[in-house]
Structure 1
Amino acid sequence: MIEPHAPAPPGVRPDREPPPPGPARLPVRPATGRFLVLACVFVCAACGLVYELELVALASYLMGDSVTQASVVLSVMVFAMGIGSLAAKRLRRFAAAGFGALETTLALVGGCSAMALYAVFAWTGDWGGGWAYGPRVLLVAFSLAIGVLIGAEVPLLMELIQRIRRQDAGGAVADLFAADYVGALVGGLAFPFLLLPFLGQLTSSLLTGGVNVVAGAALVLGLFRRDLTCRARCLLLVANITVLGVLASAAVLVDDFERAARQAVYGDDVRVAVRTGVQEIVLTGGTDGRSLDLYLDGRLRFAGHDERRYHEALVRPAMSGPHARVLILGGGDGLAAREVLGHPGVRRTDVVALDPGLVRLARTDPGLSRLNDHVFGDPRVHVARGEAFHWLRGAPPATYDVVVADLPDPGMTASTKLYSQEFYGLARRALAPGGRLVVHAGPVTGRPRAFWTVEATMRAAGLHTAPYRVDGRDPGRDAGRTARPDTAGESRAPRDWGFVLATADTRPPLRLDRHVSPRTLTQADLTADARAAEATRVTGLRPSTLVHPRY
């Protein structure tokens, strides 16, 4: 006769092993232990969000297009968190040991992620071939790894908090997620307002890893040490000390690492490297007859040996006509202002620059101030700190004879609104009767669709346009790419620079002021360049707006 199976206890499925019996043996009262677990949840959540934001910020800085980088990091990480939660089910019987090992691994991976990503970018980014995708592959790998580890935290912490004192699942989840969300809030605010400005990207990630490993070790080795065997405690202690040593050593050497990585990116001729509250500024050359190059956040802003060709093409066609009052949006390096002041009859030039640190460097650096002819010492030049869009909203209407938009390429996410229909409407309002607006619109040959979208957007704002281009022999204005001097990266540079001149009344004539002698641009060149640009026209494009960017 076959004997029937005994029924399983209530709440336990017969095909699953029951959880470890009995409450955890704690060195403190249960209420205190519960508080310490929730405090650890708070710290771990803050660290986890800092890792996420660190990857997004560094990827945006190194690879551009912050919307794409944020989407990749966050979507991959959330997906990986789900995988981590499922994987953690197998560790519930060893929750204390599993959580300790988890936090040790997370601290090492998350703390070193920024340094590893920057190293791959700096030393392999110009090797070409598959290596060009190294930073992107590593970004996805770190997002997956960190997401899996973060996702595994909550099930294990849930098991630990329930072992202190059993309560209904809903109440335990509510307590756990409340601490988790508050910790994420603190981490999300600490990163942009404390860690990034005061410690920088690399040191802040290393410090976060240190905090992470200390919090995990304190909870497991302090509160749940009786759940571990002596061997497990020793192994976990050694692992935590090792990870702390690695993070501390990296923090001590981070300045040397940055200098070496900067040399790998920019070459051996780095003369000035400073991080302002807005961006990183690097100057190379500029002494002993060497060309002065300016990099902003790793992207080549201008190359000294042919920057005059770019700035003359940007400014000179717009200065043909009345130009007593000129507004320059951007141009904190002073080079557009130099071209403006080269025309007789200029009474006032207002420069609206986002980064006062760049303006300060343009005033004081011998090489850069010599290149801009010391324009910021001219009494006709007035500098206003501000974001161009916001500044235009408060600008007096019908004031300027010429508005020069010397801004980064429209392909960069941060610049998209500065190439919107709303922005050009504000610029049009600031123009005096007969005034002219000129815009740098990116390379024509390399990105014709983006160039002609700028032109279509200006027309949608009620402006009459005259597009043109000039040949570029240097990657100087490719703001959508990290330029590397003397590397294969120059082969990916745009072959030209594109501009759009516009007025509110009729199509503006493309001509040069006859009172200024040409240096790199002649009337014949300008006419031919306009015909060359027109030959690339892309029709049927819709304007870009604030709520529907099209670049």
Structure 2
Amino acid sequence: MIEPQAPAPPRSAHPRHRPRDSGSGGAGGEAGGGDGSCGALRLPVRQATGRFLVLAGVFVCAACGLVYELELVALAAYLMGDSVTQASVVLSVMVFAMGVGSLAAKRLRRHAAAGFGAVEAALALVGGCSAMALYAVFAWTGDWGGPWAHGPPVLLVVFSLAVGLLIGAEVPLLMELIQRIRRQDAGGAVADLFAADYVGALVGGLAFPFLLLPFLGQLTGTLITGAVNTVVGGALVLGLFRQDLTRRARRLLIAANLCVLTVLASATVLVDDFEQAARRAMYGPDVRVALRTDVQEVVLTGDRDGRSLGLFLDGRLRAGGRDELRHHEALVHPAMTGPHARVLVLGGGDGLTAREVLRHPGVRRVDVVELDAGVVRLARRDPALSALNGRALDDPRVRVTTEDAFDWLRGAPPAAYDVVVSDLPHPEITASTKLYSREFYGLARRALAPDGRLVVHAGPVTSRPEAYWTVEATLRSAGFRTAPYGTGGRPAGPATGAARTPEDTARAPRDLGFVLAARTDPDLRLDPSGPRPRTLTDDSLAAGARAVERTRVPGLPPSTLIHPRYAR
């Protein structure tokens, strides 16, 4: 017996999904090949069980879809920095593509089962392989189709668009399938479908950072997510809606799902070899240590066959080549003119800043506050890195705390330090912007003694003048007098790419910018009774200050927690 036709569900105004009308048909919906006739759909299970299985499929597919979204955001943030921009590009493009995909799925309503099976196979292949594909292009070319300064990377937009189109096509087809099992009012069908979809998205969103990344890694986790997507989507269509498919459609879907599973399984088996090859392409043939801590990817290169040691954090050169000594001597020694018994180092988990601080007589205590405990362990245990830092972190005067610098400063006692050295990641990295804010420098000012000094690594000057002078303007807004200075060299380029590899970057001297700050006008000079730096003199400091001053950008507003000013 054919049940009366339910009213067509209204279009939803929800930004993520736009279900269409459920089509014609009775309790059985479209029989056989889905041609829109009103015969009863034959199911291998009861209607209630069939509805449950469809909603369970919605749950799993939604979880997989959100993992793909988060994976694109995370990979772009790891490799390109500026996670706010990455999230904005990926999510906005993806939500737009979902709407387009929902509209395009209308053409598949007569073949909803076959269409949904094809969509899931394509989504599993594109989403599951997206991380490996993007990482491969980045490792071997250093570019995704355009630098951030001139627009979003084309390849990231392409993958976001493709994944969004396929995710958007899911829900209209699922609405068609669930209505074929048993007709119900439009509001109830939409509520059931969205409930399963959003709960699945919650599970996927929590599984990505707490299960997939820590236990499987980004590449393997995404590949396995694609495999789960393939199995669930294929099983739902080929098992529950088998009678809704032609024999040719069944064969094609089985073949497609087997091919996708073969590709994903092969990639999972080869993922370790792939990562090693990609690292060699990015960092050269002499990678000694490569690990992912809870905070970042850490890579050590060199220290073999006369090659200098290179420390890379998330693909960016942190220490190595000619830069290491120039950077740390220019950062530390000008700030040590005056009282320096109590020194606070913010960042500097590699021990190289502490090494320069300990060269000065009269230092009684050095507190190092580093977020990444993995970098600290490496600085203590790796023979080459510990030799380079002179085992400074094992000195009895040094105390290392693994904590966020902002949180640590909030609990620091007033006037506790004579010198504060801020050796933190570049301010244009989104995670670091709060560490270059007026509020942060206000906390540092409180922790300084009245005659104390603060020195800040402010990034390159000539290639990022606005970011550099924003740091200086922010320090002045926090009540400091400043003395900007720098060291010469070519501007720091990206740490990857065919034109300039990390090994090239490690050899090339970079343009380094610093700001010395105090409550009164700081005197930019070296301590005459202190150690003699090997790369720095009073004359070179004066020349560096004059060179930096020529790049000044006037009238820049300070950066605050509420209004960060460093985004590219």
Q: Which residue of 2 aligns with 1:509?
A: 523
CA shift for structure 1 position 487: 2.9
Residue 415 (structure 1) aligned with residue 427 (structure 2): no
Residue 487 (structure 1) aligned with residue 487 (structure 2): no
Matches within 5 A, 1:191-202: 191-202=208-219
On the 8 A contact 1:121/1:134 being kept in 2, the answer is: no
Q: Which residue of 1 aligns with 2:49?
A: 32
Identify if the C-alpha distance between structure 1 residues 367 and 133 changes in structure 2 by more than 3 Å, giving closer, same or farther. farther
Q: Which residue of 1 aligns with 2:552?
A: 537
Letter in 1 for 2:523: P
Q: Which residue of 2 aligns with 1:183?
A: 200
Q: Which residue of 2 aligns with 1:238?
A: 255
On the 8 A contact 1:403/1:438 being kept in 2, the answer is: yes
**Percentage of pairs with the same residue:** 75
TM-score (norm 2): 0.90
Q: Secondary structure at the match of 1:345?
A: coil
Identify if the C-alpha distance between structure 1 residues 223 and 486 changes in structure 2 by more than 3 Å, giving closer, same or farther. closer
How many pairs does the alignment contain?
A: 535
Q: Secondary structure at the match of 2:157?
A: helix
CA shift for structure 1 position 24: 2.4
Matches within 5 A, 1:132-151: 136-151=153-168
Letter in 1 for 2:63: A
Letter in 2 for 1:219: L
1:439-488, Cα deviation, whole Å (9 max, x unpaired): 0111111111111111110111111111111113684xx6xx33469837
Identify if the C-alpha distance between structure 1 residues 107 and 399 changes in structure 2 by more than 3 Å, giving closer, same or farther. same
On the 8 A contact 1:300/1:483 being kept in 2, the answer is: no
Residue 225 (structure 1) aligned with residue 238 (structure 2): no
On the 8 A contact 2:483/2:516 being kept in 1, the answer is: yes
Question: Structure 1 CA distance, aligned partners of 2:481 and 2:509?
Answer: 26
CA shift for structure 1 position 134: 12
Question: Structure 2 CA distance, aligned partners of 1:412 and 1:264?
Answer: 24
CA shift for structure 1 position 409: 1.1
1:107-131, Cα deviation, whole Å (9 max, x unpaired): 011000111111111112279999x
Q: Which residue of 2 aligns with 1:121?
A: 138
Matches within 5 A, 1:66-105: 66-105=83-122
Identify if the C-alpha distance between structure 1 residues 10 and 501 changes in structure 2 by more than 3 Å, giving closer, same or farther. closer
Q: Secondary structure at the match of 2:255?
A: helix
Question: Structure 1 CA distance, aligned partners of 2:88 and 2:495?
Answer: 21
Q: Which residue of 2 aligns with 1:5?
A: none
Identify if the C-alpha distance between structure 1 residues 153 and 270 changes in structure 2 by more than 3 Å, giving closer, same or farther. same
Question: Structure 2 CA distance, aligned partners of 1:394 and 1:369?
Answer: 30
Identify if the C-alpha distance between structure 1 residues 10 and 212 changes in structure 2 by more than 3 Å, giving closer, same or farther. closer
| Alignment partner of 1:362 out of 355, 379, 382 | 379
* Structure 2: 5+ residue stretches without partners: 9-21, 26-35
Question: Structure 1 CA distance, aligned partners of 2:323 and 2:24?
Answer: 74
Q: Which residue of 2 aligns with 1:525?
A: 540
Identify if the C-alpha distance between structure 1 residues 197 and 127 changes in structure 2 by more than 3 Å, giving closer, same or farther. closer
On the 8 A contact 2:100/2:168 being kept in 1, the answer is: yes
On the 8 A contact 1:287/1:367 being kept in 2, the answer is: no
Q: Secondary structure at the match of 2:107?
A: helix
Residue 549 (structure 1) aligned with residue 548 (structure 2): no
Question: Structure 1 CA distance, aligned partners of 2:446 and 2:227?
Answer: 53
On the 8 A contact 2:370/2:401 being kept in 1, the answer is: yes
Q: Secondary structure at the match of 1:415?
A: helix
Question: Structure 1 CA distance, aligned partners of 2:64 and 2:498?
Answer: 37
Q: Secondary structure at the match of 2:217?
A: helix
Question: Structure 1 CA distance, aligned partners of 2:249 and 2:258?
Answer: 14
1:111-157, Cα deviation, whole Å (9 max, x unpaired): 00111111111112279999x99992111111111100000000000
Question: Structure 2 CA distance, aligned partners of 1:90 and 1:69?
Answer: 32
CA shift for structure 1 position 494: 8.4
Question: Structure 2 CA distance, aligned partners of 1:177 and 1:17?
Answer: 19
CA shift for structure 1 position 429: 0.7
Mean CA deviation greater in 264-273 or 300-309? 300-309
Residue 314 (structure 1) aligned with residue 331 (structure 2): yes
Letter in 2 for 1:263: R
On the 8 A contact 1:306/1:473 being kept in 2, the answer is: no
On the 8 A contact 1:352/1:383 being kept in 2, the answer is: yes
CA shift for structure 1 position 527: 1.4
Identify if the C-alpha distance between structure 1 residues 126 and 179 changes in structure 2 by more than 3 Å, giving closer, same or farther. closer
On the 8 A contact 2:282/2:501 being kept in 1, the answer is: no
Question: Structure 1 CA distance, aligned partners of 2:552 and 2:307?
Answer: 38
On the 8 A contact 2:23/2:109 being kept in 1, the answer is: no
Question: Structure 1 CA distance, aligned partners of 2:319 and 2:497?
Answer: 12
1:6-35, Cα deviation, whole Å (9 max, x unpaired): xxx9969xxx98452244211111111101
Letter in 1 for 2:500: T
| Alignment partner of 1:428 out of 442, 445, 454 | 445
On the 8 A contact 2:297/2:315 being kept in 1, the answer is: yes
1:252-283, Cα deviation, whole Å (9 max, x unpaired): 00000000011011111111111111111111
On the 8 A contact 1:120/1:134 being kept in 2, the answer is: no
| Alignment partner of 1:285 out of 302, 305, 311 | 302
Letter in 1 for 2:54: V
TM-score (norm 1): 0.93
Q: Secondary structure at the match of 2:561?
A: coil
Q: Which residue of 1 aligns with 2:480?
A: 463
Identify if the C-alpha distance between structure 1 residues 473 and 534 changes in structure 2 by more than 3 Å, giving closer, same or farther. closer
On the 8 A contact 2:137/2:143 being kept in 1, the answer is: no
* Structure 1: 5+ residue stretches without partners: 1-8
Letter in 1 for 2:396: P
On the 8 A contact 1:469/1:530 being kept in 2, the answer is: yes
Identify if the C-alpha distance between structure 1 residues 18 and 128 changes in structure 2 by more than 3 Å, giving closer, same or farther. closer
CA shift for structure 1 position 360: 0.5
Letter in 1 for 2:154: V
Letter in 1 for 2:526: L
On the 8 A contact 1:292/1:304 being kept in 2, the answer is: yes
Question: Structure 2 CA distance, aligned partners of 1:185 and 1:23?
Answer: 35
Q: Secondary structure at the match of 1:472?
A: coil
Q: CA RMSD in A?
A: 2.4
Question: Structure 1 CA distance, aligned partners of 2:401 and 2:81?
Answer: 27
Question: Structure 2 CA distance, aligned partners of 1:172 and 1:526?
Answer: 72
Identify if the C-alpha distance between structure 1 residues 105 and 161 changes in structure 2 by more than 3 Å, giving closer, same or farther. same
On the 8 A contact 2:71/2:222 being kept in 1, the answer is: yes
